[in-house]
Amino acid sequence: MTSEGWIDVQIRTNVDAGELLGCLSDQAIQGGWEDKGVVHLYWPKRQWSLEAQAQLGRTLLGLDPDASTECDIRIEELPDQDWNRQWAQSVRPIRIGRRIVVRPSWEPVVLQDQDIEIVLDPKQAFGTGHHATTRMLLEQLEDLVHGGEFVLDVGSGSGILAMAALRLGAASALGVECDPVAVDCARDYATENGFGNQLEFRCGTLDEINRQGTLRPDLVLANLDRQTLLLLCDELARYVSHGARLLLSGILLEQEREITEAFSRVGALLSQRREQEGWVALELLMAESCEGVDR
């Protein structure tokens, strides 16, 4: 690490940290985390510039038109020592649901019987399980993975969802991600966690990866932003027609109705929902599969 210090950019926003980082596509960013509605992004001081600040402002306004680049973005300089301490404290071991433990490599934990463990050191690919959008899907996977499934993770980020699904008993998983930096990070995480060829990450769009329409997953995961979910609505709903369960997250409470109505128009109906911290995760099925399901 450089000895020249760091820039800690603090953004007060409802936008998911991973979504913001992905839209920035700035390889100078060395990491980030979210805490109580504030996203922290870190640049080496020598790589922070007015151009980077302007790009951040434009990206934030594109994702959150109500944001104020003057009021909602705060910039602080940190010496190496303070950065290292904040970074080490930013990601702590957490328990999600009944069995899932996510921890950084420097924080060993005592596992209980039946626990599964994912080791993730924060990098440029977000998805450490600390955000509600990821937690809710991990909790759903605990309930829905019974063994032997093929899982398709669209917008896979760090790959945490695909890895957790395999630990829970799925037979194979494919992560699709259009950000090459995130794909590289996810592949590193997979290797570090001991996964082999049952876990694959491909760089590209869903349409590019499954151009022939041959994939037949049992579970489809999409932790994405509202705009991307609406854009991929038709493509994602096709898997429901094949009999898969479709799990959506990254949806703010006030966006839920718009998303459910869009997917219902193409044949994917709401079966179950979860809500945490103003975010919603949805499980969608074919119309006939939803009969008699409590909503």
Copy the structure tokens of residue 23: 């839209």
- Of 58, 73, 90, which residue is a domain's last? 90
Question: Distances in Å between the alpha carbon of 261 and those of 188, 202, 211, 233, 266?
Answer: 38, 30, 26, 11, 9
Its domain, for residue 16, covers 6-90
User: What is the model's pLDDT at position 96?
Assistant: 92
| Residue 158 pLDDT greater than 70, yes or no | yes
- One domain, residues 189 and 176: yes
Phi, psi (5° rounding) for residue 197? -80, 0
- One domain, residues 140 and 192: yes
Counts of helices then strands in the chain (DSSP H, E): 10, 14
- One domain, residues 221 and 149: yes
Pairing state between β 73-78 and 31-35: unpaired
User: What is the model's pLDDT at position 39?
Assistant: 86
Copy the structure tokens of residue 131: 């955000």
The verdict on residue 1 lying in a domain is no
Distance CA 221, CA 223 (A): 6
Mean pLDDT, residues 164-189 taken together: 93
Looking at the 3D structure of the chain, how many domains does it have? 2
Highest mean pLDDT of the ranges 78-92, 160-174, 182-196, 203-217: 160-174
- One domain, residues 120 and 204: yes
Q: For 47, which DSSP code? A: G
Low-confidence winner among 11-15, 58-62, 119-123 (lowest mean pLDDT): 119-123
- Of 90, 122, 152, which residue is a domain's last? 90
- One domain, residues 39 and 163: no
Copy the structure tokens of residue 167: 């630990």
- One domain, residues 30 and 149: no
Residues above pLDDT 70, as percent of the chain: 86
Which residue in this structure is represented by tokens 């992004």? 41
Mean pLDDT, residues 179-198 taken together: 91
Q: For 148, which DSSP code? A: S
The verdict on residue 246 lying in a domain is yes
What amino acid occupies position 272? Answer: Q
